[in-house]
Amino acid sequence: MTAAVPAGGEPRLQAVAPGLNGRPWISQDWLDVVFVHWRVDVSAVAPLLPAGTRPDTLTADGTDDGATTWVGLIAFRFEDTRFPPISTGRIGDFVEVNVRVYTIDDEGRHGVVFLSLDAGKLLPTIGARVATGLPYWWADAETRNGDGRVGYAMRRHGTHLRSLVEVRVGTEVTEPTALETFLTARWGMHVHRAGRTRFWPNEHEPWPLHRASVVSLRDDLIGAAGLPFGLASLEPDSVLYSPGVTTRFGLGR
């Protein structure tokens, strides 16, 4: 499904998933999701993107100056991974921390590009890397929840790279801002593999969101992914939390 195009402008980002064409090939529960974002100039992101895509842009106040894009550090728990109708059981339950940026392609499809994905189990890491071509890494990873806080800690095997993020969950978002929709309502990912860039669509119910605040944050992954050195040491421009959704992916095209 192609996004609607306003007169004289880019296709609009849809707040509700457009739906998949055909049956999903995989579904997963994404739980206790922490979204931490920084705004950056498009020049910091553009060299890292696959052919046929460019940085998707939006300012913090919901306007588009064509120069402001976003870097996300996203941490969450995978549970109940299924290749319908087959469930992987607890093999598919693990913690992931990823670094992502925001893209739009030549067909007007808004998506994300994952610059790294660190997962807390070896078999899913290998399987996901082989099946999708995404830059998955095996890591020690754990989650810490309680007293209104949600936290994640990970260390990538064979390296000194670590990420530690803990947030305090705040008020529920009853009406997301344009920026909150931009950062969370992403209905696909752009993946470069075998010389081609494909768009892998996904769908899920609208994110139940809460605004949040950082309790502690230390991250080496953003710099290791080729983004500006020291970005993670700056105060984030957006911090959100969601109890989670069930996500379904269609085949890449």
Report pLDDT for 89.
66
Task: Tell me the pLDDT of the chain (253 aa) as tens digits.
Answer: 334 333 334 556 778 888 888 888 889 999 999 999 999 999 999 999 999 999 999 999 999 999 999 999 999 999 888 877 767 766 678 999 999 999 999 999 999 999 999 999 998 899 889 888 899 999 999 999 999 999 999 999 999 999 999 999 999 999 999 999 999 999 999 999 888 999 999 999 999 999 999 999 999 999 999 999 899 999 999 999 999 999 999 887 6
Identity of residue 71:
V
Report pLDDT for 3.
41
3-state secondary structure of 170: strand
Percentages of the chain per state (helix, strand, coil), in multiples of 5: 15, 50, 35
My answer on whether omega of the bond before 85 falls inside 30° of 0, hence cis, is yes
Asked if residues 74 and 119 have their Cβ atoms less than 8 Å apart, the reply is no
CA–CA distance, 140 with 162 (Å, rounded to integer): 9
Residues whose CB is less than 8 angstroms from the CB of residue 149 and which lie 6 or more positions away in sequence, other chains included: 166, 167, 168, 169, 215
Report CA-CA distances (Å) from 128 to 81, 131, 134.
12, 5, 7
Domains and CATH numbers, the chain: 26-249 (2.40.400.10)
